[in-house]
Every structure is written in C-alpha cells, then in structure tokens.
Amino acid sequence: MIDSNSILLFVTDAPKSASFYKQLLGLDPVESGPTFAMFVLPSGLALGLWGKAGVKPAPTAAGGGCDLGFKVATADMVDTLHAEWQGKGTTILFPPSDLDFGRSFVAADPDGHRLRVYNVTEN
C-alpha cells in the first residue's frame, strides 16, 4: 500500500538544483548528496531532485514538459512570490497574468522544469 507521494525531477547537477530550490523555497533538503536531494514541501509532498546520469531506465524527456504547481491562497500572493523569485534571479517564463482559472506566473529551474505559482479564482 502506498503511504506517501513524491515527485522526482531529473536534473543535471543535484547539488546545484538543491541549492536553487533551497533558496527559492526557503527550505532545507531532508536528504542531500552528490546525486540526489529531497525536500518535503509544506503540503507534505516530497520533491526529489535526482541526477539524471544515474537514473534507470534513463529519462527520455527534458524539463519543461509539464508544470510543478504551487497553489497560493490569494492572487496578491502570486504577485508577491513573483517579485521574490525574480529578486532571487529566477528565470521567469511567463509574468503574473490573469488566466481563465485565476492568477498565475511561470518560472524555470536550472534544468528548465516549469514552476507555476497560481491562485484559483472562486466563482
């Protein structure tokens, strides 16, 4: 029986990616080494950063094929996080915008994984 959930992102340099996420999220990894790092997000979801050179079977896709979503409580928080992440030198792919579901922006990690911060507008 499955007792926890995680997302594993395949990265070029696990320590570099761990440093990026530590700065971006303000969290320390619960596990880190030369080929792997793990963060536990406030929701309880584990985010693993795995050096793609050691993954079996080898990954066939690069970053950017999907979004890792970070839901926030208000539309103003989308803008606040955008300013914070931009101030940390994060690559912004899509600025804060109002979309059909709510307010959102998209950033990228060093491997091109898309990080979408969003707030859902309640109807």
Q: What is the CATH number of the domain that holds 92?
A: 3.10.180.10
| pLDDT (0 to 100) of residue 31 | 96
Residue 108 lies in a domain: yes
| pLDDT (0 to 100) of residue 4 | 83
Residue 1 lies in a domain: no
Residue 32: give the domain boundaries: 6-52
**Count of beta carbons in the 10 Å neighbourhood of residue 88:** 11
Residue 59 lies in a domain: no
The total number of structural domains that make up the chain: 2
pLDDT per position as a tens digit, 72-105: 999 999 999 999 999 999 999 999 999 999 999 9
Burial (CB count within 10 angstroms: exposed 0-12, middle 13-18, buried 19+), residue 93:
middle
* Same domain? 19 vs 43: yes
| pLDDT (0 to 100) of residue 16 | 97
Residue 57 lies in a domain: no
* Same domain? 71 vs 113: yes
